[in-house]
Amino acid sequence: MFISESMTRKLVTISQTTAIVEARDLMKSNNIRHLPVVDATGRLVGMVTDRDIRSAIPRERYHQPDVGGEMDPFTGITAGDIMSRDLIVVEPSYTIQDALLLFQKNMVGALPVVDAEYRLNGIVSVRDLMRTFINVLGIGEPGTLLGIVAEEKIGQMKKIVDAITGENISFGSILVAKHWEKDKRVVFPYLLTLNVSRVKKKLVDMGYTLLDPMAWVIEKLPEND
């Protein structure tokens, strides 16, 4: 799936001359945390985040409505003064997998989407990708996630799927991940039912090892990337 299918297109943007108090108010009124900064031609020149503004305005003044008044010392501070200029961007043809890797590597909350001329097309956030994966994986419906350890050989997936569908259970999605044991994989089917005791017993009787998906994922998360 391409970024163009997941990105937010209706954007609130500002210019370099926008006062940071105005930027703060735009974030509050639109419930957003990132404001792309564009020039007169729509080219991306920077990004202002909620953190940038909070760093510029003292905490005790941030929520005061009189910040930015005629005599206020923060009146002259603009987006151009605090924006990030060295941005990590993506193009509409990037995949959501590309974006996920960039989020993980660079620890950012949003990625501007630009064309070949660096004109802003949209923005994709962690929230956008979460919404996309919820739809793709079918986990918006009530169900149960299983973790099944299987040998890494042809035919194992079919056996698991046949065992589950043989119980008249539908799939929301199914993922496969590496296991720490050699020649093993972990299969994560999301089943559209809450009654899984029977199918779990069936899988165990077939020789599969079941594990708690969340405990396994948390236990095996790398401490440092």
Question: Where does the chain have alpha helices with state H?
Answer: 20-30, 50-56, 59-62, 79-82, 96-106, 126-137, 156-165, 197-205, 213-220
Domain of 176?
A: 140-220
pLDDT tens string 58-86: 777 777 665 555 545 666 789 999 999 99
Strand duo 171-178 + 184-191: pairing: antiparallel
Name the residue type at position 68: G
89 CA to centre of own chain: 15
Q: Is 179 exposed, middle or buried (0-12, 13-18, 19+ CB in 10 A)?
A: buried
Q: Which CATH number does the domain housing residue 149 bear?
A: 3.30.70.260
How wide is the angle at C-alpha 87 spanned by C-alphas 85 and 91, nearest 5°? Answer: 135
pLDDT tens string 29-42: 999 999 999 999 99
Same domain, residue pair 106 and 25: yes
Same domain, residue pair 160 and 204: yes
- End residue of a domain, out of 87, 119, 134: 134
Question: Is there a domain that residue 188 lies in?
Answer: yes
Question: Is there a domain that residue 225 lies in?
Answer: no
Q: What does pLDDT average to over the chain? A: 87
- End residue of a domain, out of 98, 117, 134: 134
Same domain, residue pair 12 and 84: yes
Partners of 34 in beta bridges:
49
Partners of 149 in beta bridges:
186, 209
Same domain, residue pair 38 and 114: yes
Radius of gyration of the chain (CA): 24
pLDDT tens string 83-127: 999 999 999 999 988 998 999 899 888 999 999 999 999 999 988
Same domain, residue pair 48 and 103: yes
pLDDT tens string 143-154: 999 999 999 999
Same domain, residue pair 92 and 31: yes
pLDDT band at 134 (very low <50, low <70, confident <90, very high): confident
- End residue of a domain, out of 134, 158, 180: 134
Q: Which CATH number does the domain housing residue 59 bear?
A: 3.10.580.10
Partners of 173 in beta bridges:
190
Name the residue type at position 24: R
Same domain, residue pair 126 and 206: no
